[in-house]
Structure 1
Amino acid sequence: MILKHVLVLPFPAQGHVNPLMHLSHKLAQHGCKVTFVNTEFNHKRVVSAMNGKVSLEGSKVELISIPDGLGPEEDRNDLASLASAVMRTMPSALEKLIRDINSVDGGSKRITCIIVDTSMAWALEVVQKLGIKGALFIPLSAAIIAMEDNMQKLIEDGIIDSDGFPIRKGKFQVSPEMPTMDTADLPWCCIGDPITQKAIYHYIVKLVKCSHLTDWWLSNTCYDLEPGALSVCPKILPIGPLMESAKYRSMGQFWEEDLSCLDWLNQQPPCSVIYIACGSIAIFDPSQFKELALGLELACRPFLWVVREDSDSGNKIACLEEFEGTRAKIVKWAPQNSVLSHPSVACFISHCGWNSVMDGVSHGVPFLCWPYFADQLHNKSYICDVWKVGLGFESHEKGIISRWEIKKKVDQLLGDQNIRVRSKKMKEKVMNNIVDGGKSSENFNEFMDWLKE
């Protein structure tokens, strides 16, 4: 059988690159060659974190790049500007890249399929133009995709207007089968000012339209987590949880992982450590950062805290030096799955990005939820209200979560055996999906049969 060559295109953010890299290694394990396309800006970060390599020995995944349309100093966390630049620049760059690859050695390395992130669904227009197989990959919850696929219904029901702004405040349901959502938590309404929100909403409208150019919607979720959303949007094919390949763990990381934290965890008692990691974008202001540090001190438990080097970490890590030692470990980036699978970890203070949600439930670790923006607020609702495997924090009138609230919720979570039991049962259900004969495993095999036709 001819080796299938799959091109994979993630949205340029860490939480999108990670699950698509896990998928890429899974494809490679099934005999595919994979070309993974980052933006030039992120490609440099990834290669730097891998000590200058564009692939790892034995891997069939190769890293290449195209421009994102922004200048070197422009803010890639400004999602409206990034989306606008991507739309201006990347379609033509992607088409040229594919044509160039397909012309090498008389077409011997020809791309046979392109898998695009749902936030890059415009690329399916390029795929269609070139006559290549295309599939969509969803790194968000199925609930968010089901809601976005029903945005016209939300307009007709008077929930939002044609620019995505809520007409009425409060709870709503996309369908009786799905949990309630809140208009205040609509993903585009949690980002920046109204101009930014409008721009992101219309970008999403474009993506939804393009998504229907393929019948294959792969998703990093499973039936046990989101039965309602998957019944409302049956086109979504759950193949999760996607687990990282331990051998190629470092591929795709924007920062080098600090493995010393694993040795530190080995020295801690079982089920004692609070793990704090709030993703690749969230930044705490100095007051909130201090309250979190003092809350962890009040909790009197060992903690492992990820403080990224792009989040003013010099000053912040300096203020944490007094904590470091046997009771605390501060790192700039951590091997998250290895951390969450460690027996010393008791709970996960998380921003509730879907990637981290899947990591946490796959390892049976209870959550303390600290969502930052976008889909993270709805993910918190899943954790606290639907699955009941975590708790949220309450902020006071200035929006700050106090040290006393942090201590209170840590004590409450770790003293609640019911949450721990539910977390372990959830892990068993979720992981059963990816064993031989599991629903996610069968779905992935169905996709591979189509890919190899």
Structure 2
Amino acid sequence: MQGYAYILTHPGTPVIFYDHFYDFGIHDVITELIEARRRAGIHCRSSIKIYHANNEGYVAQVGDALVMKLGQFDWNPSKENQLEGSWQKFVDKGSDYQQPSKWHLNIELSQPCMYSNPPILDLYKMGIPHFLAIPFPIQGHVNPLMQFSQVLAKHGCKVTFLHTEFNHKRANTAGASHDNNHEGSQIKLVTLPDGLDPEDDRSDVLKLLLSMNSTMPALLPKLIEDINALDVEDKITCVVVTINMGWALEVAHKLGIKGALLCPASATSLASAACIPRLIEDGIIDSEGRPTKKQEIQLSPDIPMMDTEDLPWRGFSKTFFEHLVQEMQTLELGDWWLCNTTNDLEPGAFSISPKFLPIGPLMSNESNNSSFWQEDTACLQWLDQQPPQSVVYVAFGSLAIMEQNQFQELALALDLLNKPFLWVVRPSNDNKGNNNAYPHDFVGSKGKIVGWAPQKKILNHPSIACFISHCGWNSTLEGVCSGVPFLCWPFSTDQFLDKSYICDVWKTGLGLDKDENGLISREEIRKKVEKLVGNEEVKARSLKLKEKTLNSVEEGGQSSKNLNMFINWAK
């Protein structure tokens, strides 16, 4: 009976079979059903009833759920498709690595039945998963979750994407494609209010977060009920959220729906947050997240050393840090913490928790139908007119705010470069209509300035020489996947960690140093751009990293395998 034990996919789970089955692969069926039950969170004492099985597929009941894996055969009571036998039993010792327990499972082999009169309801309809995607409503969270939704749709999954009413209107105004029907009707859009008035300032992230937490949890169950009522054959099987939306995992958990996190930041940033209790216990930070002293620490051997003053929650208020600590506890309800990264980019981060699952890079070729600003696509024609690897691309994401004197210094630096440049300057740099003023002696004759841009297309344009970036994770990954060298200008949160990877681990970019006045001078910018653009070694490393990163999502790549596993789990 030892051979039967080795077929289990759950590592470390010993099994004893007391009887034999007629051997046409039934042991494989049992193995898959045990794993399906474990993944679905069905109680370990619930029975498995096999209604039909042969070497092409099976139909079985696991607890209250029907599980089908059908091949090219007819399910009928013909003699060759019948299983003869009675109750078979086995004992499993240890199903949870933290709390070992002993339990028994009964497997009932019943007579097969006709398709026209099944003994139980078809609850899963061939196992098509239906995801409810719920991002925190800022651009840096909406974009990766929409890209993930597009990837899921291409794999045949159904996706319902939840916007706040405010962001849905905002995206429509920006000209994004929101017709409630994407990817051949596989992605549908729904909305809920965020609890704020239309005139409220949603750039105040804490205010937005608190309003949503007090408003949306009570509304989500009814929305899920309505979605399921309209799609009774493919009800929601999994809720996927970004950080700050852990409350939705609580709702899903209460409704018996699976849950997962899609982290919009780096896996290392998520690992840092997961280590907060340990950092407090070791005296590295206090209960408000502030470092007890300036020092370098290392979370695991393969994670770069990090300065305690550059931890991802730097600058957080006491209230926001307390929210982060509570959020990390709530996110434990998610079975998986999906990371838009690869094993090669951040190998050390995945040792922090078994929940981590790299499924990146999420580089859907679909147009960005979730942008909050109207993209200036005319800049692509302007790039067509520039020489190869000549343009300096400058963009600082959707939230970074630059002080007036630094803004003017950057403008004069771009003039000083005497190179073509493409500079993204959001219409309202502080989201309150207070635009930065250009210096009176700024010429800008060699460049083009736009309010918002199709960044992935720009970074993949042959005219781009380098990327002056705030090092947000979305921008970092887009730059990596384009093979473009970075000039790193981090502003806050996880951006300093991302800079460490770019400059110290991957060695695909350079950092900028501030002067004695805390300013990055025009001369410093000019000097570093010249050094970066002419560095063939940095460019070669950038192209090599691009190839390795993109290979991960090709068929047979690790991220591709992880994604397929996740989709199968979510059924």
- Are the aligned partners of 1:353 and 1:379 in contact in 2 as well (CA < 8 Å)? yes
Change (3 A) 1:26 1:297: same
1:62 aligns with 2:188: yes
Q: C-alpha separation between the residues in 2 aligned to 1:255 and 1:86? A: 22
1:213 aligns with 2:333: yes
| Partner of residue 351, structure 2 | 231
| Partner of residue 188, structure 1 | 313
Q: C-alpha separation between the residues in 1 aligned to 2:192 and 2:284? A: 39
| Partner of residue 405, structure 2 | 287
Q: C-alpha separation between the residues in 2 aligned to 1:56 and 1:285? A: 41
CA RMSD of aligned residues (A): 2.0
- Letter of the 1:449 partner, please give it: N
| Partner of residue 269, structure 1 | 387
Q: Give the 3-state SS of the residue equivalent to 1:242 in structure 2.
A: coil
Q: Give the 3-state SS of the residue equivalent to 1:36 in structure 2.
A: strand
Q: Give the 3-state SS of the residue equivalent to 1:234 in structure 2.
A: coil
Q: C-alpha separation between the residues in 1 aligned to 2:364 and 2:448? A: 24
- Letter of the 1:154 partner, please give it: L
Q: C-alpha separation between the residues in 2 aligned to 1:321 and 1:94? A: 51
CA displacement at 1:398 relative to structure 2? 2.8
| Partner of residue 54, structure 2 | none
Percentage identity across paired residues of the two chains:
53
How many residues in Structure 1 have an aligned counterpart in Structure 2?
442
CA displacement at 1:77 relative to structure 2? 2.3
Q: Which runs of 5 or more structure 1 residues have no equivalent in the other structure?
A: 192-196
| Partner of residue 527, structure 2 | 408
State the Cα deviation string for residues 27-75 of structure 1 (Å, max 9, x = none).
Answer: 1111122111122221211122236733456452222221222232332
Q: C-alpha separation between the residues in 2 aligned to 1:54 and 1:129? A: 31
- Are the aligned partners of 2:376 and 2:450 in contact in 1 as well (CA < 8 Å)? yes
Farther-moved stretch of structure 1 (250-259 vs 310-319) = 310-319
| Partner of residue 88, structure 1 | 214
CA displacement at 1:129 relative to structure 2? 0.6
CA displacement at 1:179 relative to structure 2? 1.3
Q: Give the 3-state SS of the residue equivalent to 1:189 in structure 2.
A: coil
Given candidates 274, 278, 297, the residue that maps to 1:153 is 278
Q: C-alpha separation between the residues in 1 aligned to 2:435 and 2:283? A: 48
| Partner of residue 194, structure 1 | none
| Partner of residue 298, structure 1 | 416
- Letter of the 2:376 partner, please give it: D
- Are the aligned partners of 1:177 and 1:231 in contact in 2 as well (CA < 8 Å)? no
Q: C-alpha separation between the residues in 2 aligned to 1:401 and 1:242? A: 33
Q: C-alpha separation between the residues in 2 aligned to 1:158 and 1:301? A: 49
1:253 aligns with 2:379: no
Which has the greater radius of gyration? 2
Given candidates 177, 180, 200, the residue that maps to 1:74 is 200
| Partner of residue 450, structure 1 | 569
Query: What TM-score do you get using the length of structure 1 for normalisation?
Result: 0.93
- Are the aligned partners of 2:181 and 2:189 in contact in 1 as well (CA < 8 Å)? no
Q: C-alpha separation between the residues in 1 aligned to 2:291 and 2:193? A: 35
- Are the aligned partners of 2:209 and 2:244 in contact in 1 as well (CA < 8 Å)? no
| Partner of residue 240, structure 2 | 115
State the Cα deviation string for residues 281-326 of structure 1 (Å, max 9, x = none).
Answer: 11222211111111011111100111111225866479798425xx
Farther-moved stretch of structure 1 (310-319 vs 134-143) = 310-319
State the Cα deviation string for residues 316-373 of structure 1 (Å, max 9, x = none).
Answer: 479798425xx21111111111001111001001111100000000111010111111
- Are the aligned partners of 1:154 and 1:160 in contact in 2 as well (CA < 8 Å)? yes
- Letter of the 1:270 partner, please give it: P
Q: How does 1:234-383 map to 2 (within 5 A)?
A: 234-246=354-366, 249-311=367-429, 316=437, 322-324=443-445, 327-383=446-502
- Letter of the 1:424 partner, please give it: L
- Are the aligned partners of 2:411 and 2:442 in contact in 1 as well (CA < 8 Å)? no
| Partner of residue 133, structure 1 | 258
Structure with more relative contact order (C-alpha pairs < 8 Å, separation 6 or more): 1
Q: Give the 3-state SS of the residue equivalent to 2:314 in structure 1.
A: helix
1:98 aligns with 2:221: no
- Letter of the 1:73 partner, please give it: E
Change (3 A) 1:313 1:163: closer
CA displacement at 1:7 relative to structure 2? 0.8
CA displacement at 1:258 relative to structure 2? 1.0
